[in-house]
Amino acid sequence: LELAPGVVHVPGWLGSDEQRELVAACREWARGPVPIRHTRLPRGGVMSVQTVCVGWHWQPYRYSRTADDVNGLPVAPFPDWLVRRGRQAVARAYGASAAAERYTPDTALINFYDGDARMGMHQDKDERSSAPVVSLSIGDTCVFRVGNTETRNRPYQDVELVSGDLLVFGGPSRYIHHGVPKVRTGTADPDCGLGSGRLNITLRETGLG
């Protein structure tokens, strides 16, 4: 389902086995080498979402190999199986193509939302590559807000992201404003492997060497 040019939503793309595999991998990454944490913003704020990174470490507003804002350690390497998942996702969204086969995500941002966590409207502009962003949702349903490239405000549309859903952002929508205004506590698929809360995994190409 194409929500806007280049924005494709595939409800239920991940089965419960695949969701549990991803949850297990994320639990491991959340332990270290760089533990999951609430990202500190340069102006003193703290994000309500908890984040752990794989491949490259993101901190507002740049990528690095080591987590200078946490414990200084290099983040876990980006696994090949996750590159293949990313290619499958792009092929599912846009159709099998040479472009889908060339897609080589090198960073994953793993966000955990408890019932009170939110993500304000923002654009993702820290990647040097304009390749698509692949988003996988597991656990509690959320309200995801898809806005426009020009402003953080209206017009926007609200979409519910459910456990197992795939969302791919590319082409003209790569630099769209987006956010997560609400998590619906207690709505998780009991078979997804996550007791409560919401997990979102985004795969990206940083375009960095």
**What mask of x and - would describe binding to Fe ion in positions 111 to 150, judged by CB under 5 A?**
-------------x--------------------------
| CA 198 – CA 182 distance, rounded (Å) | 11
Site for ligand MD3 in 114-133 (CB under 6 A): 119, 124, 133
Which amino acid type is present at position 48? S
Q: How many helices (H) and strands (E) in the chain?
A: 3, 14
| Chain residue whose CB lies nearest Fe ion | 124
Among 39, 111, 141, 206, binds ligand MD3 (CB under 6 A): 111
173: DSSP letter? G
Reported as type and span, the H/E element at residue 3 is strand 2-4
Instruction: Supply the minimum distance, in Å, between the C-beta of residue 176 and ligand MD3.
Output: 5
Residue 122 assigned as binding residue: yes
Does residue number 206 form part of the binding site for ligand MD3 (CB under 6 A)? no
Nearer to ligand MD3, 57 or 174 (CB): 174
Nearer to ligand MD3, 89 or 133 (CB): 133
Residue 177 assigned as binding residue: no
| Residue given tokens 């099998």 in the structure block | 96
Neighbouring C-alpha atoms within 13 Å toward the C-beta of 35: 4
Instruction: Supply the minimum distance, in Å, between the C-beta of residue 209 and ligand MD3.
Output: 21
Residue 178 assigned as binding residue: yes
Does residue number 54 form part of the binding site for ligand MD3 (CB under 6 A)? no
Q: Are strands 7-10 and 2-4 parallel, antiparallel or unpaired?
A: antiparallel
Instruction: Supply the minimum distance, in Å, between the C-beta of residue 70 and Fe ion.
Output: 20
Does residue number 174 form part of the binding site for ligand MD3 (CB under 6 A)? yes
**Kindly report the CA angle at 34 between 28 and 37, in degrees rounded to 5?**
90
CB 92 within 8 A of CB 24: no
By residue count, the chain amounts to 209
**Helix ranges (DSSP H) in the chain:** 16-31, 80-94, 98-102
Binding site for Fe ion (CB under 5 A): 124
What are the residues binding ligand MD3 (CB under 6 A)?
109, 111, 119, 124, 133, 135, 167, 169, 174, 176, 178, 180, 200, 202
Detail the residues annotated as belonging to a binding site: 122, 124, 178
